Chain A
Amino acid sequence: MHYYLDFEQPVAELERRIEDLRRLSDGRDINLTAEIKRLEKKAKELRTEIFSSLTPWQKTLLARHPERPYTEDYIHFLFTDFLEMHGDRRFSDDPAVVAGIGRFEDAPVVVIGHQKGRGTKERIIRNFGQPHPEGYRKALRVMKFAEHFRMPIITFIDTPGAFPGIGAEERGQGEAIATNLLEMSKLKTPIIVVVIGEGGSGGALALGVGDRVFMLEHSVYSVIAPEGCAAILWKKNDREVGPDDYAKAADALKLTAADLRKFGVIDGIIEEPLGGAHRDPKVAADAIAVIIRESLQELIKTPIPNLLDERYARLRAVGSFTERMD
């Protein structure tokens, strides 16, 4: 039984009917089999139609879908021999960030990603994928490990944002993120970044500086969540902002993979199976594998000084302004 978002309801109804018919069918009733086939075709068409014209807000909801594959799911499909590493050697171990070593098609690599929890209990343990400073410091420690042992780094981005809390501020959330940005810009090993779900602001970017940056088709990446943006910019007197305002903010923020591709912030968009990555995580993982393979082949050939110059140039180029000449 799948979890359906509001805009999937038409297709959900069809799929429920298909399920019912399947239960009735023993495979020998030709009429029933034909009816199931007909409905399946219809469901696929409907799904294609719905998913070809998702609004930015719908994509945001899809990126947060409770069944969406998380970092650990992709680690399972993409890497062998994975061993998780723990702790920042400063304060503690942050379960909102997963880091470790493994093999990508035989080559040892370091993998780091935000990890949301599945189910209430794990969600709380993982703090809904919102890291504390120690999460970023663990990530940096493991990235330095990768640099030291000359392993490429692959990061998966999927967070609502860095955690806003007292302990996080006491231990320097800002400093932890800033240090990662600085250090990642000059880490002497290739870095490939894949946004798999929510790219929530600075807390996402703190694992997101790399030589190649990709987004899954239905992931989002934004300076602020649509809800936060709406609360600040769409707030009208005495009226609470609601989903309509979130949708407007999501439109205005230009946070989809297609938008970021247009701005030149990412290198490519990774296609998801029909209905989103959660409908077939293996297919989504295979598509990511293709991109990692291609990127690694290019990047490991690049001499480190060139790699770092290109990484700097790529960061340097982002922005839009005019400069008057007079």
Chain B
Amino acid sequence: MPWFKKDRAIKVTSKKAKVPEGLWVKCDGCKEIIYKKEVEKNLKVCPKCNYHFRISSRERIALLSDNNTFEEMDAKLSSKDPLGFKSVTSYRDKLKESMANTGLNEAVISGKAEIDGIPVILVVMDFFFMGGSMGSVVGEKITRAAEMAVVESLPLIIVCSSGGARMQEGILSLMQMAKTSAAIGRLKDAGMPYISILSDPTFGGVTASFAMLGDIIIAEPKSLVGFAGQRVIEQTIKQQLPNDFQRAEFLLGHGMIDMIVDRKHMKETLTRLLRLLQ
């Protein structure tokens, strides 16, 4: 079965800067220059060092769900600018730019889907939309997805990828951490399973809320996952950080996640888990 067949229903826009333009790409893992087609054929995983390139939410959905089964929910939610936030650029402009660049409304897509015939609620964050940051819309969509999973008695799967809370929505962003965590709490009380998948990178307010609350937590190899960013830590402790610091393997070693699963085995692993949990 083709794991990465491009689904006609799910258009992958070529504008996205996942991999630099041109025939060749530089791998962030091994720094080698690799033929782009080869990386794409390999589910955007480096054939030399197994580095998992960042992929868009649409690509992720195609990778994890059965063809044509994904039905998006809450697609019409979009961000306002509750603070009237302006720095060097305005938040409104930044939103418009992100929408134009990604073809997305916000940094998360949620919906119902089937995974090897098993119905689930599938939520996928998109790092290419303002660094996957969590503002009111992301918080609301995650919360609604968790509530829908309770109502429909379906397992919840969230693929995380985020720099953290969205500064431009100030305290309202921060409060999305409490809101999403409370919603996950209700899901747990209802007895529905929640599988959290951590992809590169997952940080800040997302790590410190729903990302780390999975009944099962899976990470893609070498993903950077943490609470505080590395630059902030270095500036604070004025020490060099260990080589594998905050990598998925480091988290596994410290007992923070259940398993590391290669992209090519992710769907199969989810299927097995879902069958065991049914």
Contact = CB atoms under 8 A, between A and B. Distances in A.
B77 interface: yes
Given A229-B167, A321-B136, A202 B174 contact: yes
Interface string A211-231: 000000000011110001100
Size band of the A side of the interface? Answer: 35 or more
A319 B171 contact: no
Given A255-B170, A260-B171, A322 B207 contact: no
B274 interface: no
A259 B183 CA distance: 26
B255 to A, nearest CB: 8
Interface string B120-151: 00000000000000001101100100000000
B233 A173 contact: no
> Which of B74, B211, B226: most chain A Cβ within 10 A?
B226
Interface in A277-321: 311-312, 315-316, 318-321
Interface in A114-138: none
A253 B228 contact: no
A108 B208 CA distance: 31
Given A168-B228, A319-B176, A181 B209 contact: yes
B171 A222 contact: yes
Interface in B232-247: 232-233, 236-237, 239, 241-242, 245-246
Interface stretch (A61-69, A79-87, A159-167): A159-167
A182 B184 contact: yes
B277 to A, nearest CB: 20
Contacts of A316: 143, 179, 182-183
A324 B78 contact: yes
Interface string A149-179: 0000000000000111110111111110111
Contacts of A174: 207-208, 211-212, 225-227
Nearest to B189: A186
B172 interface: yes
A320 B211 contact: no
Interface stretch (B21-29, B80-88, B107-115): B80-88
Nearest to A316: B179
B182 A181 contact: yes
Contacts of A325: 76
A232 interface: yes
A233 B87 contact: yes
B208 A178 contact: yes
A223 B173 contact: yes
Contact of B239 (A166, A253, A319, A326): A166
B233 A172 contact: no
> Which of B140, B178, B185, B204: most chain A Cβ within 10 A?
B178
B220 interface: no
Contact of A263 (B143, B172, B176, B209): B172
A249 interface: yes
A274 interface: no
Contacts of A324: 76, 78
Given A223-B167, A324-B78, A164 B228 contact: yes
Nearest to A229: B167
A164 B232 contact: yes
Nearest to B166: A223
B161 to A, nearest CB: 14
B171 A223 contact: yes
B87 A165 contact: no
B223 to A, nearest CB: 13
B76 A223 contact: no
Contacts of B171: 221-223, 253-255, 259-260, 263, 265
A233 B87 CA distance: 6
Contacts of B232: 164, 228
B57 interface: no
> Which of A162, A163, A175, A325: most chain B Cβ within 10 A?
A175
A209 interface: yes
B150 to A, nearest CB: 12
A98 to B, nearest CB: 21
B70 interface: no
B87 A178 contact: no
A320 B80 contact: yes
> Which of A162, A165, A312, A315: most chain B Cβ within 10 A?
A315
A126 to B, nearest CB: 15
Interface of A: 162-166, 168-175, 177-179, 181-183, 185-186, 201-202, 205-206, 208-209, 221-224, 228-229, 232-234, 236, 248-249, 252-255, 259-260, 263, 265, 311-312, 315-316, 318-326
Given A174-B212, A234-B88, A259-B171, 9 more contacts: A169-B226, A173-B227, A178-B208, A178-B209, A181-B178, A201-B174, A233-B87, A323-B74, A324-B78
Q: Which 7 A-B pairs have the closest CB atoms?
A: A164-B228, A174-B207, A319-B136, A185-B182, A181-B181, A233-B87, A320-B82
13 contacts: A164-B236, A165-B228, A166-B245, A172-B256, A173-B208, A178-B212, A181-B178, A202-B177, A233-B88, A234-B87, A253-B83, A315-B179, A321-B80
